[in-house]
Amino acid sequence: MAEGRQVRVLAGSVELEGILAVPERARGVVLFAHGSGSGRFSPRNQQVAGAFQSRGLATLLIDLLTPEEAELDEQTRRLRFHIPLLAERVVDATGWLEHAMETQTLRVGLFGSSTGAAAALVAAHRRPERIAAVVSRGGRVDLAGDSLGAVRAPVLLVVGGADEVVLDLNREALDQLSNEHSRMAIVPGAGHLFEEPGALEMVSRLAADWFERWLDPTAGRAASHGEAAPPNLVWD
């Protein structure tokens, strides 16, 4: 794993706290868009970020809410569903990566979870020239609204097979995605948080494969998504 450093990202009138980790000869950078009250210190997000870094991908884990906003959200649970606000901050963080010395030459991927996945898709719609790929983990991608059908980047929707409501929403969303390379992968038996043994590791591998394929200009993009897939995985 690459050693991370604390960073501050200007987003509108506020500063957001983040952790940037850039391995040697990074092949791309992945910005995490957390949802449902999660943040840069989430053990699940840090585990996935470590897997990305081991594959040569830089990562930026960022809190999309300030500490004051996060405290308010814990009480009201409203800001985590404020997709325009979250998307605007993902766009601003993408711009920050565009100017940071370590990442300015790297293609950007977005890794969104829960409501953060909707924010990632709206941001991808708004910054098509910069955002090259999106992965959603158990995402409420339906909340992306009209942006869903306008995203030009290839999108991978990873959903737990036991997360029935979100699974149905993602199936509907897949039909609306315009990029012909977009796919949905179902992890059998996994719930919304992928807490089952091996589930999060499977998510990490799928997402790293996706980002490696679309962010690294030297990687071959013709490989079939099914050939090296983990056992028992279901592709839509």
Q: Looking at the predicted structure, is the pLDDT value of residue 223 above 70?
A: no
pLDDT surpasses 70 at 225: no
Taking the alpha carbons at both ends of the chain, their separation in whole angstroms is: 32
170, two tokens:
């993602």
Interval 70-104: pLDDT, tens: 888 888 888 889 999 999 999 999 999 999 999 99
Give the residue among 8, 3, 11, 106 at the shortest CA–CA distance from 50.
3
Q: CA-to-CA distance for 122 and 37, rounded, in angstroms?
A: 19
Query: Distance between CA 229 and CA 209 in Å, rounded?
Result: 10
Average pLDDT over residues 162-174: 96
Instruction: State both tokens at 95.
Output: 């711009």
**pLDDT: is 216 or 97 the higher one?**
97
Q: Domains in the chain, please, with CATH?
A: 4-219+227-235 (3.40.50.1820)
The three-state secondary structure class of 3 is coil
| 183-211 core/surface letters (b: 16 or more CB in 10 A; e: else) | bbbbbeebbbbbebeebbebbbbbbbbbb
Over 80: is that where the pLDDT of 229 sits? no
For residues 2-26, average pLDDT: 93
By the 10 Å C-beta count (0-12 exposed, 13-18 middle, 19+ buried), 104 is classed as exposed
Count of CB atoms situated within 10 Å of the CB of 41: 11
